[in-house]
Amino acid sequence: MEKEKAVVLLSGGLDSATSLAIAFKKGYEVLPLTIDYGQRHKWEIDCSKKLIQYYNLNHHKIVELDLASIGGSALTDKFDIPKNRHIDDMSSEIPITYVPARNTIFLSIALGYAEVKKAQHIYMGVNVLDYSGYPDCRPEFIKSFETLANLATKVSVENKIRFKIHTPLIQMTKKEIIKKGCELGVDYSLTHTCYDPNSIGDPCGCCDACMLRLKGFKDAGLKDPLNYSSEL
């Protein structure tokens, strides 16, 4: 029997690498999709390529989108990235690393790719618990996108295909995500999380993303395999 297909949004970060491993485990034919959107941390794209090699996949769709030309985010503009914030402070407001409508745009492109490839499933590694600031990581957003997807496409209208958006990490803590990924054999040395790496790609260890990652590994009783540029 032919496997069902799943488009997996793969940034090269810890969460999307775990989401990819979960889609594999579920038995889907995995179609990884990376959006090169002009993010400052191009190391993410490199990591997504390394993950593709690790999983021995022979197809990796990278779509270029010039979101930097729209701006409005510390991830595409020249804003300063906040450093050394306490984790409890991170969820009090939406951070400047928010990219306007990013997940709406990513899911839309994934939907187009899924339709072309006859895939009914889309995986996205969003997570609402550890970092609740992003509006487009919430379950109500994902549910609303799924409703939209099933009105938007030729296959949903003509063939009654129902798209399903999978967000297996949405209610997990970073600790739980890391434990799950390790169970599934994810090589986290191939992932990239930092918002502000140094010139050779080493993570800073003190931006919000690094601090959440490091706390996740610590809580899981594991060592993060990455080399951090500063002593921690």
Footprint of a second copy (CB under 8 A)? 61-67, 69-72, 93-94, 98-105, 107-109, 111-113, 115-116, 135-136, 138, 140-141, 144-145, 147-149, 151-154, 156-158
Q: How far is the CB of 122 from a second copy (least distance, A)?
A: 11
Lookup: tokens for 44 = 């993410």
Q: How far is the CB of 39 from a second copy (least distance, A)?
A: 14
Question: Taking a C-beta distance cutoff of 8 angstroms, is the pair 209, 216 a contact?
Answer: no
Using a 10 angstrom Cβ sphere, with 0-12 exposed, 13-18 middle and 19 or more buried, the burial of residue 182 is: middle
User: Which residue's CB is nearer to a second copy, number 2 or number 158?
Assistant: 158
Phi, psi values for residue 75, rounded to 5°: -85, -15
Q: What angle do CA 123, 129, 135 make, to 5 degrees?
A: 70
Query: Could you tell me the smallest distance in angstroms from the CB atom of residue 16 to a second copy?
Result: 19
Instruction: Specify the residue, 113 or 228, whose C-beta has the smaller distance to a second copy.
Output: 113
Q: Which of 10, 15, 8, 9 is nearest to 173 (CA)?
A: 15
CA dist., res. 109 & res. 73, Å (int): 20
Residue keyed to tokens 């996205």: 124
Residue 226: CB minimum distance to a second copy, A:
29
> Least CB distance from residue 1 to a second copy, whole Å?
25
Q: Which is nearer to a second copy, 62 or 222 (CB)?
A: 62
